[in-house]
Structure 1
Amino acid sequence: MDEITEIYNKLGGIISEDDFRKRVDEKVDQMSGLCDMKTAAMLVAHDLGVTDTVKDIIKIKDITAEIGNVSFVAKVTSILDVREFNRNDGTIGRVGTVKVADETGSIKLTLWDERADIIKNGSIEVGDCLEITGYAKDGYSGTEINIGKYGLMRETDQKVEVSMQSQKIADIKDGMSDINISGKLLDISDVRNFQKKDGNPGRVMNILIGDETGKIRVTLWDEKVDSTTSLNLDDAVEIINGYARTNNFSQQVEVQIGNHGVLRKTEANVEYKESFTPIADIIPGESYSIKGFVSGLGELREFEKDDGTSNMVSNIYVSDDTGRIRIALWGDHALLVDELDIETPIEIIDTYSKSGYEDIELSAGNRTRISIK
């Protein structure tokens, strides 16, 4: 007796075996290869009301390595890219990782070989609610679920509410992954088009977000750029499944949103207040925001860059109660020198400090925001 007939025999003859096998084939097609014939047969039996072919659904908090085979319903909270490795027999294996959660906790899914392909082809996304059947085992960071040849991951209409752990911006460090943060949208850059190493076109842009602990720049790649089209400055946004990297130019930690990350508007109440540094406290090699009044104006100068394109620069001086500093305004910012007057109140946000000819000076580039009060 084969496995399909064994499962059919538990139906008590409510449909014919030919009809049952037809439904099993349809289920395999419907799942696009995400389950084998045995699992499809159990699902068809479950759809027909025969539930003893599938293990009882349990909560994540109750999953232990001793249980072995387990079935549960959870929401996808993060996805990591698929990694290839060499097996001892010389073949190449594939493994991917998905983190899921329900209202009782979270757990990691390890997807092997063809199961991992649902990550590569985009069949699974953060926020999907899934019915999962796999094998519980001890992993490096606690109990995890192996989804192998006989495992199951399929979307379900059941809604799963989860309380996802969220970080504050000040706690983001280089190398962190699975980052979930909320912030107020402070700035949106233009989209930059480029050619990838494989010859395909790519897109990249930056946004700046802040919370009560600080602010951080966020880089969005390719289709994630489109998630900014409905956003406006001062919107509260949340980032799910980001990862942190140090920018080689600014040497500041930034959050990256790749294929498996999410940026979306949220109704959460996010507080942000810009922190201004007294001019006397500025040291070289850091990013600062200052406020004061214009105490000196230079001339606008145009020049040609090494790549043959033209640019502009002008210099102004800003003073506060603690001191006075020169600021180089680059690009479009340079045009402000013709709009300013001595004693004009001004805020210059996100400038970079460096040692100048005489003393420390600030550089206002394309990431700088300038507000004339």
Structure 2
Amino acid sequence: MSNFDDLFKKYKEITGLPDEEILKLIESKKKDLGYLVNDDVALRLVAKENAINLYDSSPEKPSLKIDDLVPGLSNVSLKAKISRIGDLREFKKKDGGLGKVLRVRIADDTGICNLVLWDEKTELISGIYEGCNIAITAAYTKTGLNGLEVHIGQKGKLEVLPEFSNPIKGRIMRVFDPIDFITSDGRRGRVVAFVVKCEKQQKVLVWNPSDQLLSKLKAGAAVEIFGGMTKKDFNGETELHINNENGVRIDLDDVNELHERRVTRLFEIKDEDPDLVVEGIIENDPDLATTQAGKQYCRILLRDQETVIPVVFWNDKAVKIKQSARPGMVLRIDGCSARYGPNGLELSVNRWSKIKLG
């Protein structure tokens, strides 16, 4: 039962009120809310306030849609999908205590809005991940800085609807080095990437991973990934972005030993060879420089028996090589590419390349 006529008929059967009286209740509720809701929503709110269940085929309370919501509603039930989980922020309250607030972006087939959790209610987000479907009860609505917000009340609940979950299950094939960065507002961040083999190979990026998650990322381990959002990288390849690591579940009791990727000898390298693994001896002291665009780079010479080839590192990896590399050290690079530069064939180390100095 979902349309207004069916709901109206059901309300009349339960209450025994005449049509005119029910219409007055609906009009009164619409007036109370500034005529921001339609007849259908007003009738459902009237029924809820009078503890009348119009959905007797299910024990659930009527669930509103995001498009139904207006400021000033109370005891709201809502089903939605989590599209983004923000950062937990702490602040000092007027009484000197420590407060917490967490904003979550939620969506359904009618719209999007923010879900706001305060203090101990922020713990409700534990085990929740982007892309999962949730059920919210005992919430209220108000106008926030960015429009309509849904707040969970003292008796409110937030639960995952597991029947809608469709995780990616596979095995970690490769793990890349984490990348540290600074956001436009000056905050420090980190991202780590790994490749999962399921029906096909999928690159996964986890933003701001904990040290605990980083320690679990091991090639060969079984993994389940819930939620996330897909984006295209610069080469048009699909990446799965995870903004909350609760959506990544790694089983370290189920780890397969994987064959190491083949090391390409330097004399075998040709122009435009992608995703190479190379190993050699560093021939010179690393030289750190900056381009006119402000990007840092570092160039070294790598020797493999009789073959020597220049290797170029960029940004954070350039700094790492400058600080740590010395002539005579063994260097292994997993994930570099070959190209012709101003001085002939050279290797380029990208942001996801894994570097090991020995």
TM-score by length of 1: 0.50
* Corresponding residue number in structure 2 for 1:340: 328
Cα contact 1:300–1:314 (8 A) shared by 2: yes
* Count of matched residue pairs: 257
Cα contact 1:350–1:369 (8 A) shared by 2: yes
Cα contact 1:297–1:317 (8 A) shared by 2: yes
Match of 1:313 among 299, 302, 319: 299
Match of 1:288 among 259, 265, 275: 275
Aligned counterparts of 1:40 and 1:187: Cα–Cα separation in 2? 52
Deviation at 1:316, TM superposition (A): 1.8
* Corresponding residue number in structure 2 for 1:166: 168
- Structure 2: give runs of 5+ residues left out of the alignment: 60-76, 85-105, 117-127, 138-155, 218-222
Match of 1:130 among 120, 135, 138: 135
Match of 1:370 among 352, 355, 358: 355
1:255 aligns with 2:259: no
Deviation at 1:38, TM superposition (A): 1.3
Aligned counterparts of 1:263 and 1:298: Cα–Cα separation in 2? 41
Match of 1:193 among 143, 161, 183: 183
Deviations 1:26-72 (CA, angstroms, capped at 9, x unpaired): xx99xx98982212244456xx5x65x216349xxxxxxxxxxxxxx
Q: Structure 1 residues 278 and 157 mapped into 2: Cα distance closer, same or farther (>3 Å)?
A: closer
Aligned counterparts of 2:301 and 2:236: Cα–Cα separation in 1? 25
SS at match of 2:214: coil
SS at match of 1:338: coil
Percent identity of paired positions between Structure 1 and Structure 2: 9
Deviations 1:86-144 (CA, angstroms, capped at 9, x unpaired): xxxxxxxxxxx96xxxxxxxxxx631xxxx1xx24357963343389xxxxxxxxxxxx
Aligned counterparts of 2:295 and 2:231: Cα–Cα separation in 1? 33
Cα contact 1:314–1:334 (8 A) shared by 2: no
Deviation at 1:274, TM superposition (A): 5.2
SS at match of 1:216: strand
| Equivalent residue letter for 1:40 | L
Cα contact 1:76–1:128 (8 A) shared by 2: yes
Q: Structure 1 residues 239 and 270 mapped into 2: Cα distance closer, same or farther (>3 Å)?
A: farther
SS at match of 1:231: helix
* Corresponding residue number in structure 1 for 2:214: 232
Aligned counterparts of 1:203 and 1:33: Cα–Cα separation in 2? 43
TM-score by length of 2: 0.51
Cα contact 2:79–2:136 (8 A) shared by 1: no
Deviations 1:196-252 (CA, angstroms, capped at 9, x unpaired): xxxxx78765321123465636274xxxx4x546532443573523213132xxx36
1:349 aligns with 2:334: yes
Aligned counterparts of 2:174 and 2:82: Cα–Cα separation in 1? 22
Aligned counterparts of 2:9 and 2:236: Cα–Cα separation in 1? 62
* Corresponding residue number in structure 2 for 1:245: 232
Aligned counterparts of 1:185 and 1:262: Cα–Cα separation in 2? 18
1:56 aligns with 2:57: yes
* Corresponding residue number in structure 1 for 2:72: none
| Equivalent residue letter for 1:266 | R
Aligned counterparts of 1:188 and 1:128: Cα–Cα separation in 2? 29
Aligned counterparts of 1:257 and 1:187: Cα–Cα separation in 2? 16
Aligned counterparts of 1:77 and 1:282: Cα–Cα separation in 2? 48
SS at match of 1:276: coil
1:18-33 pair list within 5 angstroms? none
Deviations 1:305-345 (CA, angstroms, capped at 9, x unpaired): 325686543222235xxx8452425322144541634xx4x
Aligned counterparts of 2:346 and 2:276: Cα–Cα separation in 1? 13
Q: Structure 1 residues 55 and 277 mapped into 2: Cα distance closer, same or farther (>3 Å)?
A: farther
* Corresponding residue number in structure 2 for 1:326: 309
Aligned counterparts of 1:12 and 1:291: Cα–Cα separation in 2? 81
Deviations 1:135-179 (CA, angstroms, capped at 9, x unpaired): xxxxxxxxxxxxxxxxxxx9775853445153779xxxxxxxxxx
| Equivalent residue letter for 1:362 | L
Cα contact 2:168–2:225 (8 A) shared by 1: no
SS at match of 2:45: helix
| Equivalent residue letter for 1:349 | D
| Equivalent residue letter for 1:36 | V
Cα contact 2:333–2:354 (8 A) shared by 1: yes
CA RMSD of aligned residues (A): 5.2
SS at match of 1:368: strand
- Structure 1: give runs of 5+ residues left out of the alignment: 59-72, 81-96, 99-108, 133-153, 170-181, 196-200
| Equivalent residue letter for 1:338 | R
* Corresponding residue number in structure 2 for 1:147: none
